[in-house]
Structure 1
Amino acid sequence: MDSLTQIILGAAVGEATLGRKVGNRAMLWGGIAGTLPDLDVLANAVSDPMSALAYHRAFTHSLLFAVLAAPLLGLAIHRLYGGKDGPLPGPWAYPALLMLFYAMLTAGSYAMPIEIYHIPGITLAITLAFGGIFLVVAALRWLRGFPQKIPNTSWGGWTLLAFGAIVTHPLLDCFTAYGTQFLQPLASTRITWNTISVVDPLYTLPFLALLVWARTQVQGTAKRQWLNRAGLVLSSVYLLLTVVNYFNVEGIMEDSLAEEGIEAESLVVSPSIFNNVLWSGTAREGKDVFYFSQYSLFDRERSFAPYTRIEGNHAWLAPYANDRDLRILQWFTKGYYGVMPGSGGSEGQVQVNDLRYGLLDEDPTSPSSYIFSWQVDTTVHPVRAWQAPPGDNVDMNDLFSRLWKRIKGI
């Protein structure tokens, strides 16, 4: 999900783990650890577009990363506040920890089943950002004059906090339609449970309000702990309700397809952005014919209707199916993609659209109708792909107006 939500979740987990022992530092480091996996976005700055696409929500979002990174982060925090537990004593602790972090991240990235370019550069950028976080916190301590009486706990305690905050990040991402590669490097499968949007204010805002309220209370008090737990419980209950919604909507989609006489081989349903009321559904019939529709929980009829037919045109790219960039696109879209002429008008250039997230416009032949799309140049071999920029003719005010109108139901 979005970074703000992950910071909130990490801070709440940190408070629940060590709030009574280390006070506000539990929220601080929980929030930092909770957003640590998203440092993988730095791949966009140092690698090619398809490598960055495949690397996002990959090894840094895996269970193995949480297991290996937590002790390193825990030891670094323990040392920052004057602790002496564990290995690597003395002034060389931080350089050694950074080297270990870099080696762990690089080895895990090379073990990924997907072909990623420029891995040393990607992992170096992430490691430097990881070290930069400690430099910022240390600088703030320096500005405060290095206060001596700072609550600290054992290396093991900080490791437990770091693990809890890191691992809940990809677990929450698994509930989204974008998903995460939680099993890397053992498998490249992206786990996508499709129950919640990547941005959902009803999940985030009450959670944030309760966390901020808890932060205003005296450290270690029962009220502070109760408010923090209330945020965790409330957000978890809402997440459970999205799972109930998913199975309800999936059943409606299956019934609707049967009524329309569409013999779907597979289907995918997911909530639209910012809400859990309006759902999009895409069904695949045959190899490359797709049908898209929407359903709002406020609709009078329990039915996805009408359906928009979208031609996949997969044969256009069949000669290049084994090229690395196309293999990544096929993997990322899980086969739910459509091909159309490129928006640039260049000969040999086509546009590949991710069909799992529905349409931004009613016209499936419009290049700007898709949330995720890529331009593919077939005049070079192997073919080269890059993410298409947003369409210039997309009226965002009109888009959100239509979204709100559709949420209210038919």
Structure 2
Amino acid sequence: MDSLSQIILGAAVGEAVLGRKVGNRAMLWGGICGTLPDLDVFANAVTDPMSALAYHRAFTHSLPFALLAAPLVGLAIHRFYGGREGPVKGWPVFAALLAAFYALLTAGSLLMPIEVYNIPVVTLVITAVFAGIFLVVGGLRWLRGFPDVMANASWKGWSWLAFAAIVTHPLLDCFTAYGTQFFQPFLASRVAWNTISVADPLYTIPFLILLVWARTRVQGTGARRKLNTAGLILSCGYLLLTTVNYFNVDSVMEHTLNERGINATEHVISPSILNNVLWSGTARTEGDVYYFSQYSLFDRYRNFEPFIRIAGNHDLVAPYLEDRDMRILRWFTKDYYGVIPSDVAGKVQVNDLRYGLIADDPADPNSYIFSWQVDTTSRPVRVVQESAGPREGVKPGELLGRLWGRLKGI
């Protein structure tokens, strides 16, 4: 999900694990550890688009990473506040921990079954950014002055906090349509339960209010603990509600397909952005033909309306399916992709059809949320441009208006 939601979840988990012992530091480091997996976005700056696509929500979002990184991060925080547990004495411990973190991140990333370029550089950048976070927190401590006694926990305590905050990040991502590669480096498949949008205010805002309210209460008090627990319970309850919605909407999709006589080999549904009321559905049929439609919980009838036929045009890329960039695109889209010829000779646009259309014309290149320009003039073919969100000539205000109008129901 979005970074703010992950920071809030990490901070709340940190408070639940160590709040009674270390106070606000539990929220601080819970929030930092909660956003640590998303440092993989820095791959965009040092590698090619397809490597960055494959690397996002990969090893840093996996269970093995959470298990192995937590002791390193926990020891670093413990020593940061003056603790003496663990190997290596004095300040050299931080250099040793950074080296161990870099080695872990690099080894796990190199073992990934998807081919990612420049992994040593990618992991070096992530490690440097994480080290920079410690420097920033240390700088703020220096500016505010060092107290005589600093709240600290054991290496084990901080490690539990780090693990809980790191692992809940990919678990939350599993509920989204984008999903996460939770079992990297052993499996390339993404876990995606498709129950919640990547940004949902009804999940984030109440959770944030309760966390800030808890932050104002005195460390270790029952009121602080209850408010933080209430935030965690409310957020989990909302995820449960989205799961119920998913199974409800999925039954509507199956009923509509049968009613319309669409012989779908499979289908995918997911909530539209910023809500859990309006859902999109894409069905795949034989002969690379897809059907896209939407359903709002406020619709009068339990049907997806209207259905738009989308030609896959897979024949345009058939000779290149085993080229590395196309293999990654097929893996990422789970073969829910359509191809449109480009105005530029030798190039085609590959569109992710899982998220449907943002306009009514499937032949319009601007109708798709995620798309890639693929250059077929060289072998192997390569992605030369990645696009996400509204394109040129598409006004965000109009898109939100269309979203709101359909969300209110038919």
User: Which TM-score tier does this pair reach, normalised by the shorter chain?
Assistant: over 0.9
Query: Residue 371 of structure 1: which of 369, 372, 375 is its match?
Result: 369
- Structure 1 distance, partners of 2:374, 2:175, is 30
The equivalent of 1:253 in structure 2 is 253
Query: Residue 381 of structure 1: which of 363, 379, 382 is its match?
Result: 379
Deviations 1:321-379 (A, max 9, x none): 1100000000000000000012xx21010000000001100111110111100000000
- Alignment of 1:215 with 2:215, yes or no, is yes
The equivalent of 2:59 in structure 1 is 59
- Alignment of 1:165 with 2:165, yes or no, is yes
The equivalent of 1:133 in structure 2 is 133
SS at match of 2:89: coil
- Structure 1 distance, partners of 2:102, 2:323, is 30
- Structure 1 distance, partners of 2:215, 2:146, is 23
Over 4 Å off, 4+ runs: none
- Alignment of 1:84 with 2:73, yes or no, is no
1:83-102 alignment to 2 at 5 Å?
83-102=83-102
The equivalent of 2:345 in structure 1 is 347
1:5-404 alignment to 2 at 5 Å?
5-342=5-342, 345-385=343-383, 386-388=385-387, 390-404=390-404
The equivalent of 1:2 in structure 2 is 2
Structure 2 unmatched ranges of 5 or more: none
SS at match of 2:294: strand
Q: Structure 1 counterpart of 2:386, which letter?
A: Q
CA RMSD of aligned residues (A): 0.7
Identity %: 70
How much has 1:147 moved relative to structure 2? 1.6
How much has 1:306 moved relative to structure 2? 1.8
More deviation in 12-21 or 137-146? 137-146
How much has 1:145 moved relative to structure 2? 2.3
How much has 1:148 moved relative to structure 2? 2.2
How much has 1:287 moved relative to structure 2? 4.0
- Mapped contact 1:141–1:147 kept (Cα < 8 A): no
- Mapped contact 1:73–1:159 kept (Cα < 8 A): yes
Q: Structure 1 counterpart of 2:216, which letter?
A: T
- Structure 1 distance, partners of 2:235, 2:326, is 38
Q: What is the aligned length?
A: 408
Q: Structure 2 counterpart of 1:248, which letter?
A: N
Q: Structure 1 counterpart of 2:239, which letter?
A: L
Deviations 1:179-229 (A, max 9, x none): 000000000101110000000000000000000000011111000000000
Q: Structure 2 counterpart of 1:65, which letter?
A: F
Normalised by the size of structure 2, how large is the TM-score? 0.99
Deviations 1:5-38 (A, max 9, x none): 0000000000000000000000000000000000
SS at match of 1:388: strand
SS at match of 1:374: strand
Q: Structure 1 counterpart of 2:139, which letter?
A: A
SS at match of 1:340: strand
How much has 1:146 moved relative to structure 2? 1.9
- Structure 2 distance, partners of 1:39, 1:361, is 33
- Structure 2 distance, partners of 1:47, 1:287, is 35
- Structure 2 distance, partners of 1:88, 1:220, is 32
How much has 1:144 moved relative to structure 2? 2.1
SS at match of 1:338: strand
How much has 1:90 moved relative to structure 2? 1.4
Deviations 1:132-184 (A, max 9, x none): 01011111111122222111010000000000000000000000000000000
Deviations 1:269-299 (A, max 9, x none): 0000000000000000014100000000000
Deviations 1:43-73 (A, max 9, x none): 0000000000000000000000000110011
- Structure 1 distance, partners of 2:188, 2:24, is 37
SS at match of 1:364: coil
- Mapped contact 1:340–1:350 kept (Cα < 8 A): yes
- Structure 2 distance, partners of 1:89, 1:298, is 63
Structure 1 unmatched ranges of 5 or more: none
